[in-house]
Structure formats: C-alpha cells, structure tokens
Structure 1
C-alpha cells in the first residue's frame, strides 16, 4: 500500500501523509513523505497534523457525554444558557445543541461580507453545514462546565481514550513534531492555535485519532441509547453541496445524512467526516458492522484527492459520501 500512496502523493503534490487503519481490532499505521518541505523531516507515526473539521466529532462526543450526565439538554435552546448567537434574531434564539450537531442551525458555515451571520432558515428544518454553530456550542459548553474547551475535552475524551498527543490549543512540546501546511510548494506559517476552536483547531496524530475512531465504532464513553443517537441518521444533505442557505427546497443526496457530529454514509452503513484547513486536509470513515475504520492526514491542499483510491484499498465498496463531496472518480 505504501508504494501506491507514494505514487498518489507525487501525482497530487502532497508533501506528507499519515494514516491509521483499524481492521477487526488490528491497527496499522502508514506514513510517507515529509512534515515540511522547508526541513525535509520525515513524517512518522508521532507527527502531528491539523485535524481541521475532524475536530467536530470529538467535540460532539464530549457534548453527548454531558447530555448523558444531565448537564446539557440537547433540545433546550442554547440562548437559555448563553447569549443568542445573533442578537435580535428570533430564529437564532431557538438553536439547540442537537441542531448544531446535525448542522441544522440555519447559520452559514463562516460569516463573511457576502454571507453575514444570521439565521437563513428555521433551525431544525434542513441541513446546511456550519462551523459557526460549533463555535456557539463551544461557548455553551464552556459556560455550563466552567472549563475551557480544551480542558473539558481532555477530561471527557483525551484522557479516557489515552489520546496524549492531542490538543485544541498549541503545546510547546509539539514544535519538534508538527507538520507544516502547504499550498502547492509554499510552506504556510505554522498553525499554532492559542485559543481552542471547536470547529477546526485540533492538532493530533493518526494513532491518537485512531483511538477516537475505535470509540466511535463501539459507542465508548456513552450510554447505549446515546451511542445510538450519535449514529442515527437525521437530516439528509443537499445534492453535491455542504452549505445551502437559500429559501428554496433543495434536491437531496441519496445515501448521505447527518447524525450528531458524524456524517452518515447510509448506503455503506458507515460514518465519515472530512477536514480542510489552509494547506491541510484530513478524512476519516468507519463502518461499525465491519469493525473497521481509518483516518488519514495530509499536509497539502490537494490531499483529499488521495481519498477515493485509498478507500477502495481499506474499505472497498460504494460510498455515497464520496459522490456528495465531489471526490468520486
């Protein structure tokens, strides 16, 4: 497999790669390339990568544990806990944790001049992917627990799963092992988050995230009922689009829905998520019935092009999620 991966990396211009594959309880790590084109330091199993949006399922597991313990009500408007995300927006005042975890808030992915922060449709009515929603959830979780997000997630997820090389904020000991992001052949400024962001700031290794994947396969750290909710299909997603804020009814993608933090490839019976920060890409998928999962991290902006052929090597079959994300060949 490593020869195939190196050929794919060369064709895509991806400098470095790290993957963990879980198969029936067995773990295999594959690494290739360099952590930075500026140093040519080789990627190892202990190289840290940006998880990007693979941060979101980790935060979801912490939130669901708080729901299990009665600290968080998934269906109570978060405006009852913290100030509304958008002052004076009555629709936004109704946003719940469940809406955020299933990407049904009506909020944009990220605010910008062309897409200001407001509710574009009633929460709960349909899917539109939103990082802003996870930032709002973070504020509510921090208020409820009186803990910063990284401290909370370390207590509820990292420590129980022995994820010792994972953090939503920069640690000095990461400096010698972190992979730099690349856009084409340009090495970007090092990603060193000083404040946690629930949507994208996780730094981790493939073996560490593999422990989280194992927990996702088995519903670890949750009650049986909450573990089922985590992976129960909710809203279907719009055809070939992650963000859809228009008022018009959207054509829906067959075989792809959203649970409570994970995307669900209902056709394959699996869960998935992707990540895209500037110059860094990530992808994870698991199929509980096969007791198998994998996560891959790439430090190049064309990294997701590696996903389709690698999936067919580790989790062969039809995957509607790839078509939805525009990755199907």
Structure 2
C-alpha cells in the first residue's frame, strides 16, 4: 500500500558520538584494510542496539553483515510482534528498497535478451495521462530506473490535478519518483502478459533461493514471522498489513537472509554477468556533487573511505524503516531492517558506529554541499512555531521546543531535531531538508518542507489550541 510518510526516510537525529573514523577510533580495524566495516562489529552492535531500541521505541531491529561476500552475521534484536521474540528469519516490509530489487529483475530480463534498457517503453505502455505529451515517447527503462524520466513528484496525487505529469525531458534531471517504477512495471506486464510479482518469482527469487521474498503477500502460515508496524511511542498501528497487488516501488516483503543473497549475487557478478553488473554499479546520472544514481541504487561514487564506493537504498513507511548499504570493491555490506517509525534514528547510528568515516558517508549520501551553520534564535520564535500542524496529507505533525531546537513528531514521522539556520528556516543535522515557518495569507502559522531541489514536499497549517 502507499503509506504517505515515506518522505521522512530523509531524517534522523545524531544521538551517539562514538564513531569510527579513518584514524581507527574503534581500535578494531586495520589501517590497510579496504573494507569500510569495522572488525568488532558484533560487540559494538550488542552494546548499541538494545540501548537505542529502548530510547527510540523500536521493537525489532534486524542487522546483517556481509564480509568477503559472505553473510557473517544475521541477528534480529527484540520483538517483531510485541510479546514475541523475533526469529532470525523474520519477514519485514522494506518499503522503497523494493526499487533496487525490482531493478535486479529487470536487468535479468536484459541479460536474457528479451528486454532493452534503451528502447522506448511506449511501444508497450503509455499512461493515459500522458497521451498528448510527445515526451512520453522518449522514456526508456534506463530513465525510469534512475529517476530521470521527467516526473517531478513521487506520486501523481501530489500534483494539483492528481494526474501524472512530465516536467522535464527524459534523461536530463534526477527527480525521485515511485511513479517511474510503477510505469515500468506496467510496461513489463504488458510485454510479457504476466503479473510482475509472478515474473520476479520465476526470474529472480527462485534462481537465487530467496524463499522469503515476495512482491505479493506471504502465506498465512508465515504471518507469525511478519514484523508488525509500530509508531514512535511503540504502539502498534491499526492497519491492514496485506498488500493488494505487486508494487515495483514499495512494499516488498523479505527476510534479512534473502536480502543478503541478492547482494552477494550482485557483488559476485555471476547472476547478471560482469558487464551488466558493472552497468548497474556505475554512475548513470549525477544527483549532485556528492552522490549519483546507478541503476536502481543511489551511490556515493568515491571520497568517503580510500577508493571504495558505496551503493545504498533506504525504505521508509509508517512503522517500517530500513537501509541496505554495500561496498562492491571490498564485497562487504550492511543490512538493517526495523519495524518502528524511529528505526531510521537507529540505522544511522549503526552506520556511524560500524562504518569507517560513517559521519562523512552520511553527509555525502544526504547533502549536496556542506550543511549550513547553526544560528541562535529567540526563544519566543521557537514558542511561536511550537504546536500541532495539519498537513496537506491530512495528518498531524507536532512541533515542540526542546532547549534551542525544535523536535517534530507524529504519525509515521520519526522524532527528529531541527536546528535553526535563520529565524524562519530549520534543518535536520544529517539531511538536506529545510523547514520554513511563516504566517500564511490568513495570518495562521504554517510551514513548508523543501527538498534539495527546493521543491515543496510537505506543508501544513498550525491548528488553534
């Protein structure tokens, strides 16, 4: 299902300062090691994760470590369903990590010779909303898998008319869009006359032995292994978990072990072949000066630790936060699945504590330039901004003054601290997102949330007490 707060994957607060850097602050990694993951990862996790789970009300945290292209650790801390200890093979909804997994399946079709990355998909499918737009005839699979098809919103319902729109020439500009992956899914289903989920079972999951991965719903006998969803206070969401249809952009169900099988197969370069795997891992499109897009994966091409590049994708929906991060040159990786709104507050701390130069890596992943300086603002302004806001998604976002910062929260929103860059603009420390507070035309306090391209991705109006 589409759970609207996926935009909040872009936030966290910096809760833990004990971080390994190139100087081997952890004391457990060799200076000549090319593997960015520290050697004493298990003891670090055992001391860190339970503490963070209590602090942030996240019931279950699954962590997988790959070294030398082998899964060397697969642990699930806590309870995947309150009152029940999580099994190692717990099944998580990983939200947008669905996208690179779907991409691997598309590339398998390319490897088999039945699909072409660079031919227009319009020969199989053209969305009715774009029937009068000649740019639609230029869209290729490569564009759709790199978020460069020309859609400027994640979903069409975010446009005023609720229709899909092309705002840029395909291939020219990065703009994150789940619509693009669903667009490609429909074209593939038209071409092969087969449900996408069933197709991915046969060409991707079955060959790799990924028995706990599905684009559909799990068998009822496996529901006891499903990680239910919990809010920032640790309360279970009252929702229907069953996904209605296979989605190429969201709602993949998978275990830690199965995700590792895919990463290992990709880094081995045997499943897709060396040429196509290299194509997946190389820069297809620059997002900014720090990060780029491969095929399906975001990447930091270089600059965070020796000559290593980092490929990654996060997933964020109400009650589920996940991160998959791997380093193809050293054939190592880190997988983190959680079942709470505040899970991303945990996975970033894991990156900072287990990855050499982890702070630097997070900055390169999430900022196009150096973060702004923090400014001091009057307490009266912070008081004025505090309150409950009704967002354009018809949800409530809370804003509270905490010392000299603002702390936000709400349904599907992890608690994150905002720092002032001016009297009216605030930012989370590790992510390039700007909150602007000001009075609207009716005189009510309001906010707008801007992404790195200055697009408004969320807005709201303060409710009266």
**If the length of structure 2 is used for normalisation, what is the TM-score?**
0.64
Instruction: Give the alignment's Cα RMSD to 1 decimal.
Output: 1.9
Structure-1 residue corresponding to 2:81:
36
Structure-2 residue corresponding to 1:257:
292
Structure-2 residue corresponding to 1:17:
61
Cα distance, 1:158 vs structure 2: 0.8
Q: 2:165 aligns with which of 118, 123, 130?
A: 118
Q: 2:191 aligns with which of 144, 147, 160?
A: 144
Task: Within 5 Å, give how 1:190-205 maps onto structure 2.
Answer: 190-205=240-255
Cα distance, 1:272 vs structure 2: 0.3
1:134–1:198 CA contact under 8 A, matched in 2: yes
Cα distance, 1:193 vs structure 2: 1.0
Instruction: Call closer, same or farther: CA 1:224–1:3 in 2, change over 3 Å.
Output: same
1:49-99, Cα deviation, whole Å (9 max, x unpaired): 111111111110111111122211111111111233632222233211000
Structure-1 residue corresponding to 2:301:
266
Q: 1:74 aligns with which of 117, 128, 137?
A: 117
Q: Does 1:287 align with 2:327?
A: yes
Q: Secondary structure at the match of 2:225?
A: coil
Gaps of 5+ in 2: 1-44, 369-426, 432-465
Q: Which moved more, 1:271-280 or 1:216-225?
A: 216-225
Q: 2:340 aligns with which of 300, 303, 306?
A: 300
2:71–2:260 CA contact under 8 A, matched in 1: no
Cα distance, 1:26 vs structure 2: 4.2
Tell me how far apart the structure 2 counterparts of residues 230 and 315 of structure 1 sit (CA, whole Å).
23
Cα distance, 1:212 vs structure 2: 1.0
1:307–1:327 CA contact under 8 A, matched in 2: no
Structure-1 residue corresponding to 2:227:
179
Cα distance, 1:154 vs structure 2: 1.2
1:93-152, Cα deviation, whole Å (9 max, x unpaired): 321100011110111211225454211111100100110000011111112222211111
Q: 2:137 aligns with which of 84, 93, 113?
A: 93
Tell me how far apart the structure 2 counterparts of residues 138 and 64 of structure 1 sit (CA, whole Å).
13
Q: Does 1:5 align with 2:49?
A: yes
Greater relative contact order (CA < 8 Å, ≥ 6 in sequence): 1
Paired residues, what number? 312
Q: Does 1:314 align with 2:354?
A: yes
Cα distance, 1:220 vs structure 2: 3.2
2:154–2:179 CA contact under 8 A, matched in 1: yes
Q: Secondary structure at the match of 2:200?
A: helix
Q: Which moved more, 1:183-192 or 1:293-302?
A: 183-192
Larger Rg: 2
Cα distance, 1:190 vs structure 2: 4.0
Tell me how far apart the structure 2 counterparts of residues 105 and 29 of structure 1 sit (CA, whole Å).
37
Tell me how far apart the structure 2 counterparts of residues 2 and 68 of structure 1 sit (CA, whole Å).
41
Tell me how far apart the structure 1 counterparts of residues 269 and 429 of structure 2 sit (CA, whole Å).
28
Instruction: Call closer, same or farther: CA 1:127–1:65 in 2, change over 3 Å.
Output: same
Tell me how far apart the structure 2 counterparts of residues 327 and 36 of structure 1 sit (CA, whole Å).
32
**If the length of structure 1 is used for normalisation, what is the TM-score?**
0.89
Structure-2 residue corresponding to 1:328:
430
Q: Secondary structure at the match of 2:154?
A: coil
1:92–1:118 CA contact under 8 A, matched in 2: no
